[in-house]
Structure 1
Amino acid sequence: MEKFQELFSAYQNGTLPSDHGYIVSVFYHNNSTYTRYEVISFNNVKDIYITDEGLVFQAEGKKLYVMVEPAGWPNSHIEPAYRTDAERIPYRKRDLLDYTTRRQDHVYIGKEPVVTYTSFTVLKSIGQDISYVFYDHGDIRETILEFFRLSLWKQARVPQGDARKVTEEINQVFSRIVVSPEF
């Protein structure tokens, strides 16, 4: 079986996990390497249905956000929580780990997850944005971290050595997003 699959294809095929699943959504900026990642850990799915906005999960979940901001970004002075929808993540800078690459790009990682108690929506993919569901075959953490390393390096254009270091930082926070059955 596959380690991950495009989310909306998995929904149409009926292969979404109902317990202990992970979704990674990637949102690319049209004209730069500005990239937002949303990692969702979910459990106890009661229902999944599609709307005009996207796929709604009635489930408990925890979300972690990662953002790549290129050097010289014109809105870098604005808190990430107050930016436009295409640039927003729900954190202030004091709530983020800030990794500066050797090219002076910033990679921000949420220190703590955002908790959703009843439901969450994964937005429909528009343009090159995409969402994946990851299947737990015992190595899900390694699979997601390797996905991050490659995506940061190849799509977000973070230098390869820095992408490895950022992935290590994400690994430090990863255990906080795991949704246990007692959640």
Structure 2
Amino acid sequence: MAVVKELFSAYHKNELPTGGGFIISAFFDLNTTYTKYEVISYAAVKDIYLTDEGIVFQADGKKIFAIVEPQNYTEKHVEPAYRSALHRIPYRLKEVEIFTSKRQDRIMVGKEPVITYTSFTVTKSEGHNFSYVVYNTDDILAAIKSFFEQSMWKDARVPKADASKVAELIVSEFKKIMIGPDGEF
């Protein structure tokens, strides 16, 4: 069964998997339902340490991003890569899968992972934002699907039937960043 822990709590308890794992972070706009998700797989860990900004992983990583863009979002015409920091993901519109919900929200999921070499930082969670570490278990795909069904529905307020479809899309992209049993990509 999948093990999911709050990232910073797991760090302080020395419970982060050093053989590789997954990190899911969510960032919420305080004024709208705009939500940004970042999913990171990491392997080949050399060190993990805390800074003022967050937790630095000296490890190789692969990231996929997703955003939930509410129907009334005023910057829809701006490419996701050129938006303000909270709303930015490193993709252009042609590089994302776009799903439109029954409520006319647009959900975008990156088609290809972003690769980070040597290190990456997971910023500290503030407000309603969160970061979880997910251990690499046999049922990881089911765990990721369940997590995103619930989070898209309850946190990002995507209609439940649409949240399930988006979770399936995220799982299909997640397969591109999976870690093998030996802790390698």
- TM-score over 0.5 for the alignment? yes
Task: Report the aligned-residue RMSD.
Answer: 1.3
Give the corresponding residue for 1:126: 126
Stretches of structure 1 that go unaligned for 5 or more consecutive residues are: none
Give the corresponding residue for 1:65: 65
Deviates more, 1:128-137 or 1:54-63: 128-137
Q: Which amino acid letter does the alignment assign opposite residue 72 of structure 1?
A: N
Q: Tell whether the 8 Å contact from 2:19 to 2:45 is kept in structure 1 after alignment.
A: yes
Structure 1 residue 86: Cα displacement: 1.0
Q: Tell whether the 8 Å contact from 1:62 to 1:179 is kept in structure 2 after alignment.
A: no
Spell out, residue by residue over 1:45-92, the C-alpha distance to the aligned partner (whole angstroms, 9 max, x if none): 100011111100000110000100000200111111111111111111
Provide the rounded CA distance (Å) in 2 between the counterparts of 1:43 and 1:98. Answer: 29
Alignment pair present for 1:90 and 2:90: yes
Q: Which amino acid letter does the alignment assign opposite residue 131 of structure 1?
A: S
Q: Tell whether the 8 Å contact from 2:2 to 2:137 is kept in structure 1 after alignment.
A: no
Report % sequence identity: 53
Spell out, residue by residue over 1:96-151, the C-alpha distance to the aligned partner (whole angstroms, 9 max, x if none): 00000011000000000000111000010011111000123321221121110000
Moved over 3 A (4+): 179-183
Give the corresponding residue for 2:108: 108
Spell out, residue by residue over 1:10-48, the C-alpha distance to the aligned partner (whole angstroms, 9 max, x if none): 000000001120000010000111000000001111000
Give the corresponding residue for 1:50: 50
Give the corresponding residue for 2:150: 150
Provide the rounded CA distance (Å) in 1 between the counterparts of 2:136 and 2:177. Answer: 15
Q: Tell whether the 8 Å contact from 1:18 to 1:45 is kept in structure 2 after alignment.
A: yes
Secondary structure of 1:173 counterpart: helix
Provide the rounded CA distance (Å) in 2 between the counterparts of 1:182 and 1:103. Answer: 40
TM (normalized to structure 1)? 0.96
Give the corresponding residue for 1:22: 22
Stretches of structure 2 that go unaligned for 5 or more consecutive residues are: none
1:161-172 → structure 2 map (5 Å cutoff) = 161-172=161-172
Secondary structure of 1:75 counterpart: coil
Q: Tell whether the 8 Å contact from 2:59 to 2:117 is kept in structure 1 after alignment.
A: yes
Structure 1 residue 173: Cα displacement: 1.2
TM (normalized to structure 2)? 0.95
Alignment pair present for 1:35 and 2:35: yes
Q: Tell whether the 8 Å contact from 2:43 to 2:184 is kept in structure 1 after alignment.
A: no
Provide the rounded CA distance (Å) in 2 between the counterparts of 1:140 and 1:59. Answer: 20
